[in-house]
Structure 1
Amino acid sequence: MFTKLKNNIAQKIITLVENNDKRKKQEKWNIFMSKPNINIHPSFSPKDADIFKGENNQIGNITISENFLLREYCNIVVFPNADLRIGKSVFFNNYCSINCLDKIEIGNDTIFGEGVRLYDHNHLIEKGEKLFVEKEKYMTSPIKIGKNCWIGSNTVILKGVTIGDNSIIGAGCVIHKSVPENTIMKNSQNLISQTL
C-alpha cells in the first residue's frame, strides 16, 4: 500500500515537471513567433525556438512555408540582416544545419539527407607574409536551391551556389559551384582495396 502511494506521488511530480517544461517551451515559441521578422507557417514542426539562433540575441528574416519538417538535432542560424526563405513541403533529416549570414532560399518539395550543411559565407582571409583568418569578418554570397531537389547525406553547400530545379546531389559532395537543373551530381571517389 505504501509503495503504491509512493509511486502515485512520484508519477504526479513527474507529470507536473513535464507539464511545466512544455508550458515554458510553448511560451518561448510564442515569444519567438511574435517577432515581426519571423513568418513561420503553423504546420512547422517541431515548435522549438531553440533550433533558431542569431547573433547577440538578434535574428534575421525567416520565412517558412507550410509542411516544413525538421528531424532531430538540426540548427538554423540566421544573422541580423540575413534572409532565409524555405518553400512548401521541405524536409530536413537529422543533424542538418543552415548558417545564413546573407541569403538562403530553398524551393518547394526539396528534401535533405542527414548531416547536410549550408554556408552562405566564408571567413575573410588576409594575405600578407602569412595567411590570417579573420574570426569576425566574412565574405558572403547567396545560396539558392531549386524545387524538387534531393540533397544527399553529409553534403556541404557553400556560398554563391545555385542548384537548379529537379537536381540530385549525391551523398558526401562538397558543392562550391552552381549546378544546372535536372542534374545528378555524385562524389566519384575511387576506393582502393589492398590485401596485406
Structure 2
Amino acid sequence: MFKKIQNYINRKITSFIADLELQEKKKKWWHFTSKPNIHIHHTFAPKDINIFKGNEGEFGDITIGEYFFVRSYCNISVLPGATLQIGNGVFFNNYSSVNCVDKIMIGDNTIFGEGVKLYDHNHKYGFDPDFFVDKTQFKTAPITIGKNCWIGSNTVILKGVEIGDNCIIGAGCVIHKSIPSNTIIKNSQNLIFESLPNE
C-alpha cells in the first residue's frame, strides 16, 4: 500500500514539473514571437525558442510562412541586421542549419535533407602583416532558393548563390555558384576501388 502511494506521489510530482516546464517553454515562445521583427505563422512546429539563435537575445528580421516544420537538432541563426524569409510548406530534416548574417530567402514547398547547411557569409581574412582569419568580421552575399526544390542531405550552400525553382541537388554537394530553374545537380565524386595486397 505504501509503495502505491509513493508511486502516485512520484507521478504527480513528475507531472507537475513537466507542466511547469511546458508553461515556461510557451512563455518564452510567446515572448520571442511578440518581437516586432519576428513574423512566424502559428503553424510552425516545433514551437521551441532554442532552435533560433541571435546575438545576446537580439535577432534580425524573421518571416516564416505556413506549415514550416523542422526536425531535431536544427539551428536557425539570424543575427541583428540580417533578414530571413521562409515561404509556406518548407521542411528541414535533422541536423540542418541556417546561418544568416545578410539575407536568406527560401521559396514555398522546398525541402532540405539531413545535415544541410546554409551560409550567406564567410570570415574575412588577410595579411596584417601575417596571415589572419577574423573571428567577427564577414564577407556577405544573399542566398536565394526557389520554390519546389529538394536539397539533398549534407549539402552546403554558400554566400551569393541563387537557386531557381524546381531544382534537385544531390547529397553531399557544395553549392558555390548559382543554379538555373529546373536543374538537377549531382555530386560527381568517383569511388576508387583498390584490392588489399595478399601477404
Using the size of structure 1 for normalisation, the TM-score is 0.98
**Other structure's SS at 1:25 match:** helix
Q: Which residue of 1 aligns with 2:152?
A: 152
Give the alignment of 1:106-121 within 5 angstroms.
Answer: 106-121=106-121
Q: Which residue of 2 aligns with 1:36?
A: 36
Distance in 2, Cα, partners of 1:57 & 1:24:
17
**Other structure's SS at 2:130 match:** coil
Q: Which residue of 2 aligns with 1:161?
A: 161
Give the alignment of 1:85-164 within 5 angstroms.
Answer: 85-127=85-127, 130-164=130-164
Q: What stretches of structure 1 move > 3 A for 4+ residues in a row?
A: 127-130
Contiguous gaps of at least 5 residues in structure 2: none
1:132 is displaced (CA, Å) by 1.0
1:127 is displaced (CA, Å) by 3.3
1:56 is displaced (CA, Å) by 2.5
Which residue type is aligned with residue 75 of structure 2?
Answer: N
Q: Deviations over 1:120-176 (max 9, x none)?
A: 000001135532101110000000000000000000000000001000000000000
- Determine whether 1:171 maps to 2:160: no
Distance in 2, Cα, partners of 1:153 & 1:52:
21
Give aligned pairs, total. 196
Distance in 2, Cα, partners of 1:91 & 1:45:
10
Which residue type is aligned with residue 108 of structure 1?
Answer: D
Distance in 2, Cα, partners of 1:136 & 1:153:
29
- Determine whether 1:63 maps to 2:69: no
**Other structure's SS at 1:99 match:** strand
Distance in 2, Cα, partners of 1:109 & 1:127:
44
Q: Deviations over 1:69-128 (max 9, x none)?
A: 000100000010100000000000000100000000000010000000000000001135
1:195 is displaced (CA, Å) by 1.1
Q: Percent identity?
A: 61
1:50 is displaced (CA, Å) by 1.2
Question: CA RMSD for the aligned pairs?
Answer: 0.8
Distance in 2, Cα, partners of 1:125 & 1:169:
30
